[in-house]
Amino acid sequence: MIIFPNAKINIGLNVINRRPDGYHDLETVFYPIKINDALEIIKADKLSFESTGLEIPGRVEDNLCIKGYHLLKKDFDLPPVKIHLHKHIPIGAGLGGGSADAAFFIRLVDQTFNLGLTDDRMIAYARQLGSDCAFFIKNEPVFAFDRGDEFEPIKLNLSNYKIVLVMPPVHVSTSEAYSGVKPALVKHSLMELIYRPVVEWKNYIKNDFEDSVFKNHPEIRGIKAALYEAGAIYASMSGSGASVFGIFDKTPDMEVLRKENEVFVDLRF
């Protein structure tokens, strides 16, 4: 059986304070977009993982799909499976691709072996694998808070707009992004600001990671500026970067940006 994990973008991101456990309280809006990996599992004689497409860094045993299998195996008599992941969602892009793979893996195992898991139970499993993994179980726009793993559903529909995402040949690590951020309380929560007209977002909604990431990687700043020059009504880096998205009234000409970057156009759900 095969399934197609999708990416997400962060619309705004406020880092509010550092927690005693070393994590940060933050608030952001997760919005699903149509850039997809492909994930397949089949019964096998032993557990294995292979990937094609983009190269996935790190050890196989640290892959979230493998971790997801072992997590479910504790509670269910699962047979060994062969996992094949075709990686298309850019890595180190702030798009949640690894988290999506983990969440969709849980859904795929549930469907394949008829585990009868509810959304709430799948969310509980996904939450153990990463802060934003749980979002991809329901895969609907949410206001995310605390560590980014508590969600409040929101009514946000961007289907009348064109979403363009640009991925430069740059990797921004989460630790690098956080090292340049100064946590601060906000006067107005994103939960309120997200309901302002999209044409006003650029005046109110920001990503706290941009200042430090743009300083270290001016080419990412240049992409955001280029999206506005191309007619975006809102543009922002997603998460901790390095990808930048723009929201447009109509499909723009992105040929200039295509010369050095990967460009994805019209990613609406």
Return all residues near 240 (Cβ < 8 A) that are at least 6 apart. 94, 172, 173, 174, 176, 177, 178, 209, 213
Q: Sorting pLDDT into bands at 50, 70 and 90, what band is 67? A: very high
- Last residue within a domain, chosen from 125, 153, 181: 153
Pair 21, 118 in one domain:
yes
The total of other beta-carbon atoms located within 10 Å of residue 56's CB is 17
134 and 51 co-located in one domain: yes
Q: Is the domain of 244 the same as that of 121?
A: no
Please say which residue of 153, 179, 208 terminates a domain: 153
Picking from 49, 33, 138, 152, the residue whose alpha carbon sits closest to that of residue 94 is 33
Q: In terms of residue numbers, what domain contains 107? A: 2-153
Alpha-carbon dihedral angle through residues 122, 126, 131, 133, given to the nearest 10 degrees: -90
| CATH number of 7's domain | 3.30.230.10
SS3 letters across 65-103: HHHHHHHHHCCCCCCCEEEEEEECCCCCCCCCHHHHHHH
Annotated catalytic residue, options 132, 162, 206, 208: 132
Question: Which CATH number does the domain housing residue 230 bear?
Answer: 3.30.70.890
87 in active site: no
Rounded-to-integer distance, Cα 182 and Cα 30, Å: 22
- Residue of 8, 87, 206, 224 marked active site: 8
- Kindly state whether residues 125 and 237 are assigned to the same domain: no
Is 132 catalytic? The answer is: yes
Q: What is the pLDDT of residues 226-249, one digit of tens each?
A: 999 999 999 999 998 899 999 999
Residues 11, 140, single domain; the answer is: yes
**Contact 245/233 with Cβ under 8 angstroms?**
no
Distance CA 163, CA 227 (A): 11
Pairing of the two strands 48-53 and 38-43? unpaired
Q: Which of 153, 183, 211 is at the close of a domain?
A: 153
Q: Do 37 and 148 have their domain in common?
A: yes
Q: Is 50 in a helix, a strand, or coil?
A: strand
CA distance 29 to 207: 11
Instruction: Count up the domains in the chain and report the number.
Output: 2
138 plus 222 within the same structural domain? no
Residues 28 and 122 in one domain: yes
Sign of the alpha-carbon torsion through 56, 59, 61, 62: negative
112 shares a domain with 14: yes
Provide the pairing of β-strand 48-53 with 81-87: parallel
- Are 214 and 140 members of one domain? no
Please report the pLDDT score of residue 28 as a whole number.
Answer: 97
Average confidence (pLDDT) over 39-49: 97
Q: How confident is the model at residue 192 (pLDDT cuts 50, 70, 90)?
A: very high
The type of residue at 61 is E
59-84 average pLDDT score: 97
- 178 pLDDT above the threshold of 90: no
Confidence of residue 133 (pLDDT cuts 50, 70, 90): very high
- Same-domain status, 31 and 146: yes
Pick the more confident residue, 123 or 269: 123
Do 120 and 217 fall within a single domain? no
Query: What span, in angstroms and rounded, lies between the C-alpha atoms of 218 and 210?
Result: 10
Task: Give the C-alpha separation, 20 to 250, whole Å.
Answer: 45
